[in-house]
Structure 1
Amino acid sequence: MISSSFFVIFFVQISILNSYNVTEICGNNDSLQPNDDCLRVLWTNAGCKESVFTPNVTWRSMTILEASDKMKNLFNSSKAHVHNFLKNRIECFGITSTSDINILYGVEPTMTMANENTLLSVAHLTDGIKIPDISLGGCSHIAANVEIKVYSPRLYIRKVVIWTPFTLNVQTVNIWTGSSSNVCQNNVILKNGTFTEIFCLKTINAYDNVYVRSTDSSSLYICEIEAYFDNLAYFKPIWHTLNEAKFKVYAVDLYDYVSNGGQISISNENPIKTWSNISKKVCDYLPISSIRLYGTTVLCQGGGIEGQFVILEKRASEAVAEVNITSIEVYGDYVDKPSENSVDILKNKLFWSNKEIGIHKMLDYGHNSFPIRNEISNAWIYFDLEALYEIESVSILNSNINNEKCKNLYISVSNSTVFNDVDVMNKGKCYKNIHKMSWRTFHMYKCETPNPIGRFLIWYYQGVSIVSMAVVEAYGTKIIEEKFQKIQLTKVISNTEDILHKSDIRGGYPIKIIDGRRINYNAKITYFTCAGIQHNLESRFSIYLQNTYKVEQVVVYPFREDDGFSDCLVSVELISRDPERQICGLSNYYSWSKSYTLYFDCSLIGDRISLYRSNGSRIITVCEVLVFGRNLTSEEKSFKNTIRYPTKMINLNNIVTPYENTCLIQASNILIQFDNFYEIYGFGFDTNSSLLGNKITFNGLTGKEKIECSFLDQYISLVQNTRFFIQCFSVITVKSIWINSSMNSMALCNFYIVVKDNINQQVANFFQEKNNKLIEPLLMASISNVTNFLNCYKNCINLPKCETATYLKDERKCFLSEVSTYLTMPVNFTIATESTYQTNFQIVNSKMNLC
């Protein structure tokens, strides 16, 4: 029941049809028979929808007065308390738009013969996954017919949507609601690999089930079945926008109705914004009734009124109005999308708290409470808006019985995922509440000026340990960032059939982690929409992107009831360079156990994201993955797949022994030489041993200088040979790569570089001319027990091709080479073997030159 002594707000999304002057079109004599233009004017002036009217013999045979009276009677008889009101309403307004709520989601279907294969279980018909690939665990193979039963008193299913996979067969179905006598449509040919919309034009009775039946009794392959009521207000709380669009509202039905006055108005602006004056139009006055009516209807005059919000309020002449109803239904036609700042930007977004989060549907407008429990005071909750927003206002439906709990509520905006109470109270402030908040009351607050800008919205209850919120909302304007957009994900696969929860009819198949359902482990929800796997060696989920992007961030919402995301590697990959891995991030036990949402920042090119785990239980369980990034620049596209392999590899720890391209060789200093100078994007290699967290640096060498490429310092557990690609901090033009590790040895092999597709030959020629002696470098010898640098120098000048003598004082070793490749060594000589010889001797911080 809704009762109000001032006004009740119901948010809807809702045109005013210009009224015609009847005498201009029909004349002054209403005893004449009307022409077609006159009939159309009479129809619209009666309040019915112009587009559904077709003049016929019956209408033309009437007088103008008779036609006008009958049309007005038709309009008035479309009220809910009138017999056959639905038939009259369809004749007057046609089939109107439907709600945006799919009534079948999460409802368990039944069928005549179950498919025992859970991959194609009937349960997937209503799990929200519409990807047309039967191998992914989101589609069903069903027998000849299926029934899905929902509870829907008084409501009429007006649209059914069926999503199908790619199949070789033409599938034709009949669709009923209730029974075969209540036909939605028969002989519907389903489109292959996409969706088919079916509008129920002939349904005359309200039923609580949907039947889909094959016309030839053959089995059907279907991914998803959806159904929608024509009540635009279905499952909408009284404080929220309807369908997130503008509608032309024709009729508002109110049930179990008692009222002593009031009216219904339509507005494009949110009427609860008490800080601004809103423009609205009156639909009509509410009928006065002291006796409870089963139902009554308010019909908007003039052919309907456009707007975004439906408002129940007192009339201007009334001091107070009281309205009692148990439900409200709104009917109308879609007009346009709403203004951006009137759409709740928190709906279906990721969020997490500093302690346990209870059962909830808070961001999807359910009616469950939302407790945040913290053993100490100061409960907080983070909301990820998934983009940068300027926040204008926020709202809350309070479900704390104790009206003191919201008295020190801080609401702020941040770009950091790390909670800091000082920042929340002083930076990015939106609003601070200092007032008591009664139980089950709805409040909207305007943000402080200037409006805060950020990606994360934070609610902080200072001094409160347990709070409960039924619904929270936020409104604002999205700030477009071309470099940071949410990327569409197309499919998910795993490397094992050992799928957790597979035996459950709900099936936790990999596709569940991109189904858009973040809060997935509530036991009261029919479908388990997280996914878990366990491989006997290394578990892997691979998530495919719609295209190739520069990936800037990967967000993972892990499953919270096991250790399913401890020590996982997050990798950005290119399918064309499989099995190469680019490290975006690692989740250690601490980060996984302390956060409900994990953020991995990187800047890597790829068309696939993979999650790996090879240690511990090897279990990976994930509820949702989001990926953010941008399109590639023309420069980045030119580095996609052109690979070059080295011509020489040198173990600097043992120059005498040639370095073989095998991971059986271990070294801490490796020099890799290529046949030319290249513009290098990054560097790849294989390894068969775990990376233990010691720093490995990758530098390019031109012969004259060292250029930093990148480094590795993560602990990565490996159980098999693995290929990594290290993207340089920037594009570098070099001929050699020097790899140095802080640990004693590393087992790296199968080196390669990714270079620009079209090599800039002018650049290459410039570097070759400048460093022409580097074209064919060669390490000639390594001599031990050399007493001083002069003896090392003597060994060099006795060899005709020796250009460089490098002396390591502590090891008393002398290295001889044709080229100057060791300028970066701690202690070295460089000798130019031309007419004049120059020797540079360097010991830590001191130098001396010999000529």
Structure 2
Amino acid sequence: MHSPTIRLSLNFWVAINLLAYYNVYGIDMKLLPPIEAGAIPNLFVEISNENPSLLTTAALCAEGIDESLYNNFLSFLCRRGGVKGQFIIFRSKHLTFSHISVKEIEAFGQYLRPSNINNTNILLHKPTWSSSSQEIQTESFGATDGSYRSYYLSTNHNHPWLRVDMLKTYKVFTIAIQNRDPLSENRNLKIIGLISDYQHFNIHQSDMYSKKCFENQHPFESGEYRAWNCMHPTPVGRYAIVYLPLQESFSIFQMEAYGEEIANDDLSPLPIIKADRNSDNGSFDDRDAEQQYSIKAVDQLPFNVDWQQVYFSCTGNFKDNHQEGRFTIYLDNVYLVRQIVLLSLLPFNTNNFEDVQIAVENSFMQPQRQFCHLATTVRREHELYNCSLIGDRISFYKIDGTNKIRLCEVYVLGKKQAYNSVDLGTVENATMIFSMEGSTPHMNSFCDYSTNELFFQLKVYHKLNGVGFTLMETKSFTSDKGLQIFGINEKQEYILCSQFRNLLKITSPTPFTFPCSSEIIAKYVRIFSSSGSFRACNYYVISKQVVNNLIVNYRLEQGASSIIPSLIYATETNLSLLDCYKSCIKDDKCESFAYSTESKACMSSKFEILSEARDHLTTSTSLSYSVMYKKYVVLSLVCNGN
């Protein structure tokens, strides 16, 4: 390995960040000849707990003496008891330069505690993306990977930029950069640093979408590490950006930032415990199976390139023959998931993540998918998918196309406080389905019919926050208003629970849950598709609780219409209208009844006569009928005189 020559003076230093707080006892150096005359006595070592680029003073560890040099080994023993700090700083006593060639440096001491928050590089191993790169080995990940063997280099174009997702919101005090090579000395002279809350914007409009941290105005030497204190007011944001305001290629070794986290409990990184897939087949043909373990999608290493010289940190899934491929990320508990961050493979190819269904799932209930997004294509290597769904895992499903899912890193952000399983609610299945196509009631488990509109009934009123069903075949709900789901309250008002416009692509019957935008008290649910008929069954709701504070009123209608025969479950004869009424009251199954004054027949129905479906639930007759059905009223409203 090439051994660097270090140039030192009183104002030019080299520092080692120990990444934690130590009591340093001493430092050993292996030097390479020739050793410049007088260089050793001029050397001295300092220890600091602050970044030396922002520091004016530090504690002396030791000074160099010729007698401590033996066989090209040089030792510095810190004063008795050691010196505490995080940074080891090498300087020379003179303003003129001393040069030494170093093969290896070792420090020994005692670990004391983690680094101070203000000395923790918040960009280390954070996902990056850029305006361009010259080749695969100079992609943007090289600027935050913590290694000086890699670097970032763009192509030559106007206003080249590099962006970093810090995954949290920070008040950023400092941005630091290590310049790369002699060519960068001039082209990085005008480098500008920004902090923003926006993932993507035109860099020419940075004044509108970001806050400036710094603007360099001084020569920036090759290999120099420089830190800039941000301008006041101190910028706050999630994304750190550096760019050149000219046409040039842009190159840096490393980029760092230091600041203070601004707590946001509604959008925090959520703990991930594992990842798996439903196939042992990796999606990279030229990589061995052990190089494609699914855990690499959550190893916190955003190295998103397929290049033999870099640690391979990507993975995926492959299923052929029109089977559904699945790749799942597991959280340590149930959370409200608000955002899924995906880092895709480079070189960028839309086929790596095309037509992938992203779902949030919950293992505490029966298997079900909550649709978050359909990634028809990926626009850039760093993508955000926003949703507001409760679950403990995120799954990516892929059918057809290349049959491959390729991803390099997944981050999940959401509400920091985990959900208690008791607060999630319970799954309550529908008791009866009434399709508006054919005016026929169905058992909930009956799946062999299609409809574009239906009602389903629950046993009692529930406070529900989601509705679901098992979809039997692929269906597009993209036209017009798509799929609309309504809860019908005790006043027979139709309250919109959810509206869905997208493609649901499946290979086998699959349960989907659609969360309500707000809690609804309902016993009946209406589902309407303006995108044509669909085939489904096993309808259910997610119930937060049973609503018991309801009283029942009855509405009586008289005329030449009766309840359709398919809704009648019992018929009694030789009863008066009052007896028919009493019979329905005593029977919990009875939601409505029809009474024939001529034949004295009492016909009980399990289904309420809903106003929107009246024409489908009743039928014309030449006889005179009385139709009575239950009307529920919230008890609190009755008590208030409403």
Check whether TM > 0.5.
Answer: yes
Residue of structure 2 in register with 1:542 after alignment: 328
Which residue of 469, 474, 488 corresponds with 1:685?
Answer: 469
- CA distance in structure 2 between the aligned counterparts of 1:324 and 1:598, rounded to whole angstroms: 46
Shift of 1:744: 2.3
Residue of structure 2 in register with 1:697 after alignment: 484
Which residue of 606, 611, 631 corresponds with 1:822?
Answer: 611
Q: How many percent of aligned residue pairs carry the same amino acid?
A: 25
Structure 1 gap ranges (5+): 13-240, 783-799, 804-815, 837-851
Shift of 1:641: 5.6
Structure 2 gap ranges (5+): 566-591, 596-604, 619-624, 629-642
C-alpha RMSD over aligned residues: 3.5
Residue 406 of structure 2 is aligned to residue 626 of structure 1: no
Residue of structure 2 in register with 1:473 after alignment: 256
Shift of 1:752: 0.5
Shift of 1:445: 0.8
Residue 115 of structure 2 is aligned to residue 333 of structure 1: no
Aligned residues of 2:7 and 2:97 also touching (Cα < 8 A) = no
Residue of structure 1 in register with 2:339 after alignment: 553
SS, match of residue 424 in structure 1: helix
- CA distance in structure 2 between the aligned counterparts of 1:685 and 1:492, rounded to whole angstroms: 27
Residue 208 of structure 2 is aligned to residue 419 of structure 1: no
Shift of 1:476: 0.7
Aligned residues of 1:659 and 1:665 also touching (Cα < 8 A) = no
Aligned residues of 1:698 and 1:739 also touching (Cα < 8 A) = yes
Question: Which residues in structure 2 correspond to 1:279-290 (within 5 Å)?
Answer: 279-287=57-65
Shift of 1:825: 9.8
- CA distance in structure 2 between the aligned counterparts of 1:820 and 1:364, rounded to whole angstroms: 66
Residue of structure 1 in register with 2:124 after alignment: 347
Shift of 1:300: 1.0
Stretch deviating more after TM superposition (489-498 or 704-713): 489-498
Aligned residues of 1:554 and 1:599 also touching (Cα < 8 A) = yes
Shift of 1:569: 1.0
Q: What is the letter of the counterpart of residue 169 of structure 2?
A: L
Residue 315 of structure 2 is aligned to residue 531 of structure 1: yes
Q: What is the letter of the counterpart of residue 539 of structure 1?
A: G
- CA distance in structure 1 between the aligned counterparts of 2:225 and 2:245, rounded to whole angstroms: 20
Shift of 1:753: 0.8
Residue of structure 2 in register with 1:486 after alignment: 269
- CA distance in structure 2 between the aligned counterparts of 1:532 and 1:637, rounded to whole angstroms: 31
Normalising by structure 1, report the TM-score.
0.60
Which residue of 583, 586, 589 corresponds with 2:374?
Answer: 586
Residue of structure 2 in register with 1:451 after alignment: 234
Aligned residues of 2:213 and 2:231 also touching (Cα < 8 A) = yes
Residue 508 of structure 2 is aligned to residue 720 of structure 1: yes
- CA distance in structure 2 between the aligned counterparts of 1:641 and 1:284, rounded to whole angstroms: 65
Q: Deviations over 1:64-110 (max 9, x none)?
A: xxxxxxxxxxxxxxxxxxxxxxxxxxxxxxxxxxxxxxxxxxxxxxx
Question: Which residues in structure 2 correspond to 1:765-784 (within 5 Å)?
Answer: 765-766=549-550, 768-769=551-552, 780-781=563-564
Which residue of 637, 657, 675 corresponds with 2:459?
Answer: 675
Residue 279 of structure 2 is aligned to residue 496 of structure 1: yes
Residue of structure 2 in register with 1:324 after alignment: 100
Shift of 1:314: 4.0
Stretch deviating more after TM superposition (594-603 or 434-443): 434-443
Q: What is the letter of the counterpart of residue 617 of structure 1?
A: T
Shift of 1:608: 1.6
SS, match of residue 728 in structure 1: strand
Residue of structure 2 in register with 1:153 after alignment: none
Q: Deviations over 1:422-479 (max 9, x none)?
A: 4424532211234443332222111111211111111222333531111111111112
Residue 80 of structure 2 is aligned to residue 305 of structure 1: no
Which residue of 6, 10, 13 corresponds with 1:6?
Answer: 10
- CA distance in structure 1 between the aligned counterparts of 2:392 and 2:101, rounded to whole angstroms: 53
- CA distance in structure 2 between the aligned counterparts of 1:334 and 1:516, rounded to whole angstroms: 24
Residue 391 of structure 2 is aligned to residue 614 of structure 1: no
Residues 415 and 769 from structure 1, CA distance in 2 versus in 1: closer, same or farther, beyond 3 angstroms? Answer: farther
- CA distance in structure 2 between the aligned counterparts of 1:321 and 1:828, rounded to whole angstroms: 95
Residues 669 and 374 from structure 1, CA distance in 2 versus in 1: closer, same or farther, beyond 3 angstroms? Answer: farther
- CA distance in structure 1 between the aligned counterparts of 2:73 and 2:131, rounded to whole angstroms: 47
Larger radius of gyration: 1
Shift of 1:645: 1.3
Aligned residues of 1:671 and 1:737 also touching (Cα < 8 A) = yes
Q: Deviations over 1:149-184 (max 9, x none)?
A: xxxxxxxxxxxxxxxxxxxxxxxxxxxxxxxxxxxx
Q: Deviations over 1:496-528 (max 9, x none)?
A: 233334772643122222222221434234653
- CA distance in structure 2 between the aligned counterparts of 1:631 and 1:397, rounded to whole angstroms: 35
Aligned residues of 1:666 and 1:746 also touching (Cα < 8 A) = yes
Q: Deviations over 1:771-824 (max 9, x none)?
A: 899xxxx99249xxxxxxxxxxxxxxxxx9569xxxxxxxxxxxx998552359
More strand by share: 2
Aligned residues of 1:6 and 1:322 also touching (Cα < 8 A) = no
Shift of 1:684: 1.1
Residue of structure 1 in register with 2:172 after alignment: 391
- CA distance in structure 1 between the aligned counterparts of 2:395 and 2:219, rounded to whole angstroms: 48
Shift of 1:305: 0.9
Residue of structure 2 in register with 1:126 after alignment: none
Question: Which residues in structure 2 correspond to 1:236-385 (within 5 Å)?
Answer: 241-242=17-18, 244-256=19-31, 258=36, 259=39, 261-273=42-54, 278-287=56-65, 294-315=72-93, 318-320=94-96, 322-326=98-102, 327-356=104-133, 358-360=136-138, 361-374=142-155, 376-385=157-166
Normalising by structure 2, report the TM-score.
0.79
- CA distance in structure 2 between the aligned counterparts of 1:432 and 1:828, rounded to whole angstroms: 73
- CA distance in structure 2 between the aligned counterparts of 1:655 and 1:673, rounded to whole angstroms: 15
- CA distance in structure 2 between the aligned counterparts of 1:335 and 1:826, rounded to whole angstroms: 79
Residues 495 and 524 from structure 1, CA distance in 2 versus in 1: closer, same or farther, beyond 3 angstroms? Answer: closer
Which residue of 478, 501, 519 corresponds with 1:731?
Answer: 519
Residue of structure 2 in register with 1:651 after alignment: 435
Q: Deviations over 1:338-394 (max 9, x none)?
A: 221111111111111233463153323323453443574222222111211111111
Shift of 1:576: 3.7
Aligned residues of 2:465 and 2:520 also touching (Cα < 8 A) = yes
**Count of residues in Structure 1 that have an aligned counterpart in Structure 2:** 558
Residues 511 and 772 from structure 1, CA distance in 2 versus in 1: closer, same or farther, beyond 3 angstroms? Answer: farther
Residue of structure 1 in register with 2:587 after alignment: none
- CA distance in structure 2 between the aligned counterparts of 1:641 and 1:700, rounded to whole angstroms: 17
Aligned residues of 2:131 and 2:160 also touching (Cα < 8 A) = yes
